[in-house]
């Protein structure tokens, strides 16, 4: 049965990579946003494979269910790119092509330089209670600060959106 | 009680089965259903009117506001799941902790309410 | 991959290694069978119920008493031409039904029909179900967008707005139950309600809010705005036809109704618990199914009774009524649970919850009437102001 986990890893990784490629390569930006959802879903699968079931379904709930829809709505506000937008983006594109290999090398080097080894990958009782204890006992203050961050995001969005006429 | 790996193998299989069932239904339908496309049939349906332009365009911003409010509340809600499991052992400490967290977000909700961002026009 | 727990001998002395595979196969076949049969049965049930309520006969031509009507409809859908308009985005248009259908199928894997009769019993079962519910939204937005039809796009956007909004009160109501059960594992939540100590009696307000949110999440009347035919033809489904439409609407919608009814049964009605279950555990399946169908009939009844919401009413109701109500309920329940010792906390929570239900029933119409009066008042003063110079 030992071949199953690597096989599933390959399938999930393929989904993540395919989603990522589609984000970059699809002609319409809405399509890109949707492909990102696919990529997030593959990522959730990878979390589940690592034994972090709670994180995996948080990933699905937040990223697939909420962030993707948010980005989709954001994208739909922008409308179709005007003609000639490609030319204006020319230098950005070249810079992008130059930076991508650099970043790729950086990530690969980091992965090989650090060793991601931990003794306990899968907790016997699931990762829900360890996670809960970590958030609510050990890191209670960061948790409270997170709510201020969320509040700032919410008020910022409302302030930006609110029309001045009423 | 099946173990962790087997459980998520089930989940994986069920996802695959879902996709497979849809694929199978479409394939069967493709084999037995007739296909006689005409230009009128392939036009987007707009109650008989001639469609003007494509539907892909710009859309009002209030959808975005609600999506953003939702993201904020969704993040709040995912913290509630682990909290609800251990809050009994946390006692009053847990109540105060979550109370502060929710109170800060309720400030945001009240702000949105007062600014009329919760109304749909 | 062989820690203890994987290889358990099956019933009738089946070899453990065979049983691992066989069990999965049985689970898959059962679920696929249940989804198809459930959709066929529930559509017929809904049509018959509607017919009775409206003093009609309903389907009666195909088979005895019209029993084979939906079966014939399904065959027709498969044999129907699948029209895809010229402007659609092929890849996304074709995958959208699969994106809503697949999470629905996957949700079945954790439904506890009876002790032991459950695909898997993961200890985050409730979180799993919630996140699968959230995935369905994506399929609907994709369908609306990929159709490249104005009705579809507006329908898809509206539908997504509705689904994401109602997800918040839905999950808040679920968490309220978790407070009492202390676990996200579905079997533990079901067994935490022995005898008549059902969560329905202790947490009726959470049940009410979840029920309303579930109606919205499954696009049932009075929240079936995405399919508001008077405004948007068929919403995000406008460009879909044939079996693609069948998968989307019939299978996914009715499958989702069954899922949310099962969640309600497990969380509030004690799951499989019922008379004689201790002697014959398999009887649990019967009780579970009966309870699920009681809720499904309630869904149908509501569809018969209530008119459809307007989009602004729908969003207002969610953000200004349901979310404050569920948040209050959640927080007060948690406080009472910590504040009072063992039997008194449940009693206090019960009293408070029934109070909330009563307040909901009494105050909502009153608030609505006050709002209407204020609106009329404003209209009147505005009319007087505009008429004043000419008079």
Domain ranges of chain A: 4-122
**Per-residue pLDDT at B86 exceeds 80:** yes
**Per-residue pLDDT at B1 exceeds 50:** no
C347-384 pLDDT, tens digit per residue, is: 888 888 888 888 888 888 888 888 888 888 888 888 88
The fold of B4-114 is: Methane Monooxygenase Hydroxylase; Chain G, domain 1 (1.20.58)
pLDDT score, position A165: 44
Question: What is the ipTM for the molecules in this complex?
Answer: 0.84
CB within 8 Å: A30 and B83: no
User: What is each CA distance from C21 to A45, B47, B85, C28, C243, in whole angstroms?
Assistant: 22, 51, 33, 11, 31
pLDDT score, position B50: 67
* Percentage of residues in chain C having pLDDT higher than 90: 3
Rounded to the nearest integer, the mean pLDDT of chain B is 79
Average confidence (pLDDT) over A66-87: 71
For C3, which residue in chain A has the nearest alpha carbon? A124
Q: Which of B55, B57, B107 to mutate to test the interface with C (most CBs of C within 10 A)?
A: B55
User: What is each CA distance from C248 to B26, B29, C39, C94, in whole angstroms?
Assistant: 12, 14, 12, 11
CATH of A4-122, one of 3.40.640.10, 2.60.40.10, 1.20.120.1200, 3.40.50.450: 1.20.120.1200
Helix axes A29-49, A68-78, angle to 10 degrees: 170
**Per-residue pLDDT at A163 exceeds 60:** no
Got the DSSP string for C35-63? Answer: HHHHHHHHHHHHHHHHHHHTT---S-SSS
**Per-residue pLDDT at C161 exceeds 50:** yes
Among A24-28, B15-19, C380-384, the range scoring the smallest mean pLDDT is A24-28
Q: For residue B91, give how far its alpha carbon lies from the nearest alpha carbon of chain C (Å).
A: 6
Would you list which residues of chain A are within 8 Å, Cβ to Cβ, of chain C?
1-2, 4-5, 28, 30-31, 34, 37, 41, 53-54, 57-58, 60-61, 64-66, 68-69, 72-73, 76, 125-126, 128
Confidence of residue B47 (pLDDT cuts 50, 70, 90): low
Highest mean pLDDT among A71-80, C122-131, C278-287: C122-131
pLDDT score, position C210: 92
C186-218 pLDDT, tens digit per residue, is: 888 888 887 777 888 888 888 999 999 998 888
pLDDT score, position B54: 66
Q: For residue C134, give how far its alpha carbon lies from the nearest alpha carbon of chain A (Å).
A: 5
CB within 8 Å: A135 and B62: no
Rounded to the nearest integer, the mean pLDDT of chain A is 79
pLDDT score, position A61: 87
Instruction: Tell whether B8 lies on the interface with A, counting CB pairs under 8 A.
Output: yes
Q: Which of A27, A59, A61 to mutate to test the interface with C (most CBs of C within 10 A)?
A: A61
């Amino acid at each position: 049965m030992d071949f199953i986990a690597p096989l599933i890893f390959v399938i999930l990784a393929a989904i993540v990579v395919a989603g990522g490629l589609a984000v970059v390569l699809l002609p319409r930006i809405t399509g890109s946003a949707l492909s990102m959802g696919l990529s997030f879903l593959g990522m959730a699968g990878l979390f589940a494979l690592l034994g972090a079931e709670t994180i995996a379904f948080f990933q699905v709930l937040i990223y697939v269910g909420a962030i993707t829809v948010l980005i989709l709505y954001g994208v739909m506000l922008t409308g179709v790119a005007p003609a000639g937008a490609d030319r204006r983006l020319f230098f950005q594109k070249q810079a992008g092509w130059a930076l991508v290999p650099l970043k790729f090398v950086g990530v690969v080097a980091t992965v090989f330089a650090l060793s991601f080894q931990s003794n306990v990958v899968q907790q016997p009782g699931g990762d829900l209670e360890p996670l809960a204890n970590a958030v609510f006992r050990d890191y209670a203050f960061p948790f409270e600060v997170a709510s201020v961050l969320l509040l700032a995001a919410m008020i910022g969005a409302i302030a930006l959106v609110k029309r001045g006429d009423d | 009680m099946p173990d962790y790996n087997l459980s998520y193998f089930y989940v994986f299989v069920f996802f695959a089965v879902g996709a497979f069932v849809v694929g199978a239904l479409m394939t069967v339908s493709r084999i037995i259903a007739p296909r006689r496309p005409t230009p009128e049939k392939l036009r987007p349906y707009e109650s008989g009117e001639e469609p003007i332009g494509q539907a892909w365009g710009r859309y009002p911003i209030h959808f975005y506001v609600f999506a953003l409010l939702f993201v904020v509340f969704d993040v709040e809600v995912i913290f509630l799941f682990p909290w609800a499991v251990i809050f009994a052992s946390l006692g009053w400490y847990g109540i105060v902790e979550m109370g502060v967290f929710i109170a800060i977000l309720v400030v945001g909700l009240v702000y949105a309410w007062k600014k009329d961002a919760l109304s749909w026009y | 991959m062989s820690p203890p727990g994987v290889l358990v001998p099956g019933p009738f002395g089946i070899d453990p290694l065979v049983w691992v595979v066989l069990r999965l196969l049985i689970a898959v076949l059962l679920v696929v069978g249940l989804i198809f049969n459930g959709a066929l049965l529930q559509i017929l049930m809904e049509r018959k119920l509607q017919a009775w309520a409206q003093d009609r006969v309903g389907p009666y031509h195909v088979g005895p008493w019209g029993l084979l009507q939906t079966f014939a409809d399904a065959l027709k859908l498969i044999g129907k031409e699948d029209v895809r308009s010229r402007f659609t985005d092929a890849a996304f248009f074709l995958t959208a039904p699969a994106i809503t259908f697949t999470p629905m199928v996957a949700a079945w894997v954790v439904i506890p029909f009876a002790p032991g009769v459950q695909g898997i019993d993961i200890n985050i079962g409730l979180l799993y179900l919630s996140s699968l519910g959230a995935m369905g939204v994506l399929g609907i937005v994709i369908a609306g967008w990929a159709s490249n039809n104005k009705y579809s796009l507006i329908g898809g956007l509206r539908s997504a707005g509705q689904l994401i909004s109602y997800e918040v009160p839905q999950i808040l109501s679920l968490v309220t139950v978790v407070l009492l059960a202390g676990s996200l594992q579905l079997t533990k939540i079901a067994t935490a309600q022995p005898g008549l100590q059902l969560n329905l009696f202790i947490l009726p307000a959470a049940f009410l809010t979840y029920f309303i949110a579930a109606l919205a999440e499954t696009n049932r009347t009075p929240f079936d705005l995405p399919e508001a035919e008077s405004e948007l033809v068929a919403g995000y489904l406008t460009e879909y036809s044939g079996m693609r439409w069948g998968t989307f609407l019939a299978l996914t919608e009715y499958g989702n109704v069954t899922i949310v009814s099962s969640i309600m049964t497990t969380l509030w009605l004690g799951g499989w618990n019922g008379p004689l279950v201790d002697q014959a555990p398999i009887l649990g399946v019967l009780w579970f199914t009966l309870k699920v169908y009681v809720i499904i009939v309630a869904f149908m009844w509501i569809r018969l009774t209530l008119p459809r919401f307007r989009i602004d009413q729908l969003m207002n109701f969610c953000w200004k009524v349901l979310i404050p109500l569920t948040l209050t309920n959640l927080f007060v329940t948690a406080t009472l649970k910590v504040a009072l010792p063992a039997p008194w906390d449940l009693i206090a929570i019960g009293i408070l919850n029934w109070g909330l239900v009563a307040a909901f029933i009494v105050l909502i119409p009153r608030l609505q009437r006050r709002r209407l009066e204020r609106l009329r008042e404003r209209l009147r003063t505005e009319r007087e102001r505009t008429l004043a110079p000419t008079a």
